[in-house]
Amino acid sequence: MSRDVLTISPTLAAMTGLQTGEMPADQGAALDRYVHPEDLETVRKARAAGVKGQGGFQAEYRHLTPDGQTVWLRCSGVQVPAAGDAGCSRLVVVEDVTSRKLEEDQRQTLMAELDHRVKNVLATVQALAVQTAKRTTSLEGFLSTFGGRLKSMASANELLTAARWRGAAVEHLAAAELGALAPGQATWEGPELFLTPRAANALSLALHELAANAMKFGALSQDTGQIEVRWSRPLGGSFELTWCESGGPTVTPPARQGFGSTLLEQVTGRELNGDATVDYRPSGLFVRLRAGAQAVAQRPEAVPAAPTSRVAEIAPSAHGPANLQGARVLIVEDAVLLALELEMGLSNAGAVVVGPAYELEEALALLDQELDAAVLDANLNGRSVTPVADVLAARGVPFVFATGYAETGGAPGGFDAPVIRKPYDVTQVAAAVAELLRNRT
C-alpha cells in the first residue's frame, strides 16, 4: 500500500529551505507550492510525461524558499516499481544550478548590450559617412576626412574599453588626438576629470575636428602656430573646455558652414548636455565647450595609463609614398574585406603579395616561401598569431602588426615590431612595411 510521503534529505533541505524528514507527497505535487508560478506548468508537464512513459523526467525551475529566496533547481527523477500492491516510488536527484543560470543570464545581458552598442556604432559610422560625403567633392577628400573621424571614434572607444566603459579621462582624450598631430605646438592642461561614454565620444570628435581644421587652415598650418587646450570643473559639477589658437594665419569666418562646424556647434553641444561657442578671432580660433553635470562620470575603478597618440605608432614617412617594388609581403588577416584592401594597397605600392592567409594553418603553410616582410593581424578567429610571428622572427623576416587590440605594453606578444591600430589607412601599412625594409638593408 502506498504511503504517499516525500522524504527530504539534509542536502535537499539545505538547498530548498524545507524541513528534513517526511512530509505528505500529495501524489508527487507536494513541492509545487514552492515552484515559481512562471515555471509551474513546465514542471507539471515534465512530471506527467515521466509518469505516462514509466520512465524518467527532468526539469529546471525556480524554487521559492520559505524565507523568500529564489534558487534554480534541476530535478532528474525516475519511477521505481514496488513489489505486490505497494505501488511505486520515485527517486529524484536535485541539483542547485543557480550559479550556472545566473551566468547564463549575465551572458545574455552582455550579448544584448554588445548588440545595442554595435548597432549604435554602425549607425553613427553610417551617419558620419553620409554627412562627410555630402560635403566633399572628391573621393580622396572623402576618404581622408572620413578616415580621420573614424579613427577619432576608435580612439575614444579604446579608452572607454580600457576603463570598462565607465568613462574616459579628458586628459587622455586630448593626448590621443593632439599628441602627434602637432609635436611641440599643442599643450593641454586641466584637473583629473572623467566623462561618460557618450560625452567622451562627442569630445573626441570635437577635438579631432578642431585639430584637423587647425592643420589645414589654422595655427598648425604654420610652424609658429600654437594651440592651448584648458579645461576646468566649475561649481555645480559641470565641465568647461577652451581651445585657443595663436601664431597662425589671420582668421576670418568661413563663407559656409561645413559638417565639422555643424558637429562642433550643434551635435557636440547636445551630446555634452551643454553648448559650444566658436569665435573666429583674427588672432586665432577660440572655442568654448560647456557640458552639463550629466556628462561628467565618477572616476572608474580601472583607469588606463595615459595613451600615446593614436598616430604615434607609425610616424609619417620622410621618403614620400611607399615603394615596395618587388618585395614579397605576406598578409595574415582573418577579415576578408580588410585582407582584400591590404592586398590592393600593397600591390599598388609594388609589392608581390603572398596570401592572404585567413587562418593560422594557412599562414603557417606559407612560411616556407621566400618572404621579405609580413603584415599580421594579432588574432585569427580567436587564435593568436604568435606561432607565425615566432617563425618570422627566427628567420629574420620583419613584420608589422595591423590589429584592433590595444595592448599597453607595446606590440602583441612582446615582439619588437611596429603596431598599427584598426581602423587604419592602407597607405599607413604600406609606409610601415617600406620602413621595415629600409631598416633591414
Cis peptide before 423 (omega within 30 of 0): yes
Residue type, 362: E
Q: pLDDT band at residue 312, thresholds of 50, 70 and 90?
A: very low
Residues of the chain within CATH 3.30.565.10 domain(s) are: 135-297
Q: What is the pLDDT of residue 124?
A: 59
Give burial (CB, 10 Å; 0-12/13-18/19+) of 112: exposed
SS3 135: coil
Comparing 170-184, 211-225, 338-352, which segment has the lowest mean pLDDT? 170-184
Q: CA–CA separation, 351 vs 88, rounded Å?
A: 80
For 236, left (φ over 0), alpha (ψ -120 to 50), or beta? left
Percentage of residues in the chain having pLDDT higher than 90 = 19
Question: Each residue of 26-37: pLDDT tens digit?
Answer: 776 778 888 898
Evaluate if residue 1 carries a pLDDT over 50.
Answer: no
Handedness of CA 215, 216, 219, 220 (dihedral sign): positive
Q: pTM to 2 decimals?
A: 0.52
Q: Where in the sequence of the chain do the CATH 3.40.50.2300 domains occur?
A: 328-440
Residue ranges of the chain that CATH labels 3.30.450.20: 5-96
430, 418 contact by CB (below 8 A)? no
CATH no. of 5-96 = 3.30.450.20
| 323-378 tens-digit pLDDT | 889 999 999 998 887 888 889 889 988 999 998 999 999 999 999 999 999 999 88
At residue 139, does pLDDT exceed 90? no
Q: Considering only residues 104 and 87, tell me which one the structure prediction assigns the higher pLDDT.
A: 104
pLDDT in tens, 380-432: 888 889 999 999 999 999 999 988 665 544 567 778 888 887 767 788 888 88
pLDDT greater than 80 at residue 160: no
Sign of CA dihedral 16, 17, 20, 23: negative
Lowest mean pLDDT of 245-249, 251-255, 348-352, name the range.
251-255
- The better pLDDT of the pair 333, 130 is held by 333
Task: Pull the grid cell for residue 389.
Answer: 610571428
The one-letter amino acid at 264: L
CB–CB of 362/381 below 8 Å? no
Given this model, what pLDDT does residue 365 score?
A: 94
CATH of domain 328-440: 3.40.50.2300
User: CATH assignment of 135-297?
Assistant: 3.30.565.10
